[in-house]
Amino acid sequence: MKFYMTPGSCTTGIHILLEEIDRPFEVYIVNLPAGDQFQPDYLAINPKSTIPTLVCDDGMAITEFQAIAWWLARSHPKSKLLPDDIMGETRVIETMDYAVGTIHMQGFARLFTTANFTPNETDFDAVRTRGREIVEQGFSVINEVLAGREYVTDAFSIADAALFYVEFWADKLKIELPPNCHSHYRRLLTRPAVQRVLREEGYSPHAMN
């Protein structure tokens, strides 16, 4: 498999899942500030010019975090990245979609790519403020999901990998996580796959919150 990623981005979540399934893969760094995502070679693989992208053994390219995560779980059932019961799987997909679609794409995106939400620089502060509100509201929702649980369901799943990367961003931006989210983040920092990924992407697991 070929994995196209940017260290410290949402692709960190997929990177963790690839380490969890323990299969060999090649890593290709997409330098977003340099515009690698718009280069013809990359557009031929992913015309959306987004990350992450995973190219399977048969040459099929999969894009979008949720699709890649679900494919990895279903194609590697021994890794148990999805619950066996339909309600558990539904809960995992629901939480993963909320982490990616709301906390990331509506919240953090306003903080990281403010200009995409308004052409007027005078509005930047308002956009960022709204982004932080969405992030904090999102973690408040997830805090209830994690109440009394170590993971989203009974064991580590693709939803936990999605939550980790937004919790990681909160840590980097000094946004305080509510108690259950903070415990979840700390718990994932002890997983060997997560520690390997952080080291490979240039971070020290022991320096995280």
pLDDT in tens, 8-23: 999 999 999 999 998 8
Q: Are 208 and 168 in contact (CB under 8 A)?
A: yes
Q: Quick one: average pLDDT of 63-92?
A: 97
Joined together, the tokens standing for residue 6 give 């940017």
Is the pTM above the cut of 0.85? yes
Q: Are 174 and 136 in contact (CB under 8 A)?
A: no
Domain segments of the chain as ranges: 2-79, 86-207
- For the stretch 95-113, pLDDT in tens is 999 999 999 999 999 999 9
Return the CATH number of 2-79, one of 1.10.3720.10, 3.40.50.2300, 3.40.30.10, 3.30.360.10. 3.40.30.10
Distance CA 203, CA 9 (A): 12
Q: Model confidence at 144, in pLDDT bands (50, 70, 90)? A: very high
Q: Which fold has domain 86-207?
A: Glutathione S-transferase Yfyf (Class Pi); Chain A, domain 2 (1.20.1050)
Cis, bond preceding 83 (omega within 30 deg of 0): no
Q: Which of 200, 132, 195, 196 is nearest to 166 (CA)?
A: 132
Q: Which of 153, 82, 33, 128 is nearest to 184 (CA)?
A: 153
3-state secondary structure of 200: helix
